Amino acid sequence: MTELTKANFAQETASGIVVVDFWATWCGPCRMQAPVLEEAEGAIPALKVCKVNVDEQPDLAGQFKVSAIPTLVFMKDGKIARTVVGYHDFEALEAIVGEISKA
Residue pLDDT, tens place only, 27-61:
999 999 999 999 999 999 889 999 999 999 999 99
30 lies in some domain: yes
Number of domains in the chain: 1
103 lies in some domain: no
Q: H or E segment at 29?
A: helix 28-43
3-state SS record for 39-63: HHHHHCCCEEEEEEECCCCHHHHHH
State residue 63's pLDDT score. 95
Q: Catalytic: which of 2, 24, 27, 85?
A: 27
Report the CATH number at residue 23: 3.40.30.10
Clarify whether 27 is annotated catalytic: yes
90 lies in some domain: yes
45 and 98 Cβ atoms separated by less than 8 Å:
no
Q: What percent of the chain has pLDDT over 70?
A: 100
Average pLDDT (67-92) is 97
State residue 20's pLDDT score. 98
Residue 1's pLDDT band (cuts 50, 70, 90) = confident
* Letter string b/e over residues 48-74, b meaning 16 or more CB atoms within 10 A of that residue's CB: bbbbbbbeebeebbeebebeebbbbbb
Domain that holds residue 53: 2-98
Q: Catalytic: which of 18, 30, 54, 96?
A: 30
29 and 86 Cβ atoms separated by less than 8 Å:
yes
SS3 13: coil
Clarify whether 30 is annotated catalytic: yes
15 and 51 Cβ atoms separated by less than 8 Å:
no
23 lies in some domain: yes
75 lies in some domain: yes
50 and 12 Cβ atoms separated by less than 8 Å:
yes
